Amino acid sequence: MRRFLLAYLKYAYIRLPVSELTRYRLKSALMWLLTPWLRHSAGYQFWSEQRRLARQTLDPGRLSVGANIESVGGERGGADDQPKLLLIDSCTPTPDRDSGSMDVFNSIRIFLALGFRVSFIAESNLLNLGPYTRALEELGVECLHAPRISSVKSWLQSQGSTYAVVMLFRAPVAIRHLPAVRRHCPRAKVVFSTIDLHLLRESRQAGTMPEPDGRWNPLHRAELECIRGADKTIVISEAERLWLESAIPGLQLALVPLVRDLPAPRRRVGFEDRAGIAFIGNFQHPPNVDAVRYFLEEIWPEIHRELPEAVFYIVGSYLPGALNIRADEGVVVLGYVEDLDAVFDTLRLTVAPLRYGAGLKGKVVTSLGYGVPAVVTPIAAEGMGFVDGEEILVADGAEAFRDRVLSGYRERRLWEKLSHQGHAAAHRLYSLEVSTHAYRGLFAELKLLGLADGGLPGVNGRGDR
């Protein structure tokens, strides 16, 4: 009953019939009132951090967002004859802080390189997020925020007819705005990017199977309605695509994997010069909090007894107080780390002991992209395309997970094989060229590539890579 009540409350908040600016002010007032009880939660930390960033004037050049795609579009907003693409997401991407933001930021870079004029709205708060907003603007993106706009609907009413494509990222965004986009953007193709399937992730968290019609959960039902109502729906894993196609035949789906700008090949630090195990993730995402608690309580004590010299590092933004104050032996809480290169250059192993979730796991791709082997659960490996025992180590259950961590940490030959082959697989499956090829195919199916005919370095008109 509690789960269903929370679902209805979340749905009511998403569909609240007020402007986005008013909704954000109401949320902020509630946060202030509940500060004594919420201040150590990941959600409160995220809200507080967004407010702090909105007041910053830092140089956007400090962001580690990659530079393999050249900025295109000339002056801000691009040429007048370029087709216009509006991307609406919940928040401005912060690619040095969470995996989803990396995908959004790199997707925007691809859209620009393909020849679109891109506009962006962070609909949950309409904030100018300081260095992160400026990083988008320096690429040539038109960032729409307060005070220029106070609601998405009013902007669509005045400018919706000018867009060739509107992209809605994440289920809550699509649930709130798809009807208005259809009403006020008559020329636009509508693309819904799920990031991950909320109904699948939340059903797994509750230990149930998702209902194909979402009948018991208004959020799941609305997410499915958005999937049906979009011209194309992007899923990021083959497993999610197959589940949706078997549950609801006839959907217009497109598969676009994680959009990663992986580090270029370089001289890597060898096995003997590495030490330590790490979990790296954004702790506003509940599966990550559960995974670290599970690892600390059921797996790490045995590993620490076998490897007393090893250290387990907890790395990531928005650590809840319950994890931040733990004093487990051999554990170091690093929290947010600006430069992950330094972390991956010294680590021997990463872990992803996820017990529920959906989509693809950016933390796994990033680790393998740096040549650092990963030990993961079947949920974390789902749909990734990595071969167990050759490119990654998969283990189900605490005892099996412990054993595979010990093997990966101790056995040099195994580590070197996983490091080399995992690195190659990550670049083969999740490079920017792969994602660009997928997006190019999506826009071609929507008959938009005749309007935008850009290209990327290393990717020709046929999409070869």
pLDDT score of 71 more than 60: no
Residues pairing with 88 in the sheet: 121, 168
- Alpha-carbon distances of 185 from 125, 190, 451, rounded to whole Å: 22, 9, 17
**Spatial distance between the Cα atoms of 29 and 9, rounded to a whole number of angstroms:** 17
Going by pLDDT thresholds of 50, 70 and 90, the confidence category of residue 170 is very high
Going by pLDDT thresholds of 50, 70 and 90, the confidence category of residue 20 is very high
3-state SS, one letter per residue, for 169-219? ECHHHHHHHHHHHHHHCCCCEEEEECCCCHHHHHHHHCCCCCCCCCCCCHH
How is domain 271-430 classified at the CATH fold level?
Answer: Rossmann fold (3.40.50)
**What is the distance between the terminal CA atoms of the chain, rounded to a whole angstrom?**
51
Going by pLDDT thresholds of 50, 70 and 90, the confidence category of residue 380 is very high
Q: Count CB neighbours of 96 within 10 A.
A: 21
Fold: same for 2-261+434-445 and 271-430: yes
Q: Nearest Cα to 448, choosing from 70, 151, 27, 167?
A: 167
170: Cβ contacts below 8 Å, ≥ 6 apart: 89, 90, 193, 194, 195
pLDDT on residue 69: 43
> Cα 444 to chain center, whole Å?
24
Q: How confident is the model over 359-387, as a mean pLDDT? A: 93
pLDDT on residue 452: 56
Q: Where are the domains of the chain?
A: 2-261+434-445, 271-430
Going by pLDDT thresholds of 50, 70 and 90, the confidence category of residue 456 is very low
Question: If you average pLDDT over every residue of the chain, what do you get?
Answer: 87
pLDDT score of 171 more than 80: yes
Sign of the CA dihedral running 311, 312, 315, 320 = negative
Strand extents, DSSP E, 66-146: 84-89, 117-122, 142-144
Q: How confident is the model over 186-191, as a mean pLDDT? A: 96
Strands 331-335 and 253-255: unpaired
Q: How confident is the model over 257-264, as a mean pLDDT? A: 85
Sign of the CA dihedral running 268, 269, 274, 276 = negative
**Spatial distance between the Cα atoms of 422 and 343, rounded to a whole number of angstroms:** 18
pLDDT score of 337 more than 80: yes
Cα angle, residue 286 at apex, residues 285 and 287 outer, rounded to 5°: 95
pLDDT on residue 285: 87
pLDDT on residue 324: 66
pLDDT score of 138 more than 70: yes
SS3 1: coil
pLDDT on residue 263: 78
Going by pLDDT thresholds of 50, 70 and 90, the confidence category of residue 39 is confident
Q: How confident is the model over 290-307, as a mean pLDDT? A: 95
Q: How confident is the model over 424-432, as a mean pLDDT? A: 93
In our burial notation (b when 16+ CB lie closer than 10 A, e otherwise), range 303-337 reads bbeebeebebbbbbbbbbeebeeeebebbebeeeb
- pLDDT tens for 152-168 read 999 999 999 999 999 99
How is domain 2-261+434-445 classified at the CATH fold level?
Answer: Rossmann fold (3.40.50)
| pTM for the predicted model, two decimal places | 0.87
CA atoms within 13 A on the CB side of 305: 7
Q: Nearest Cα to 236, choosing from 95, 389, 105, 104?
A: 104
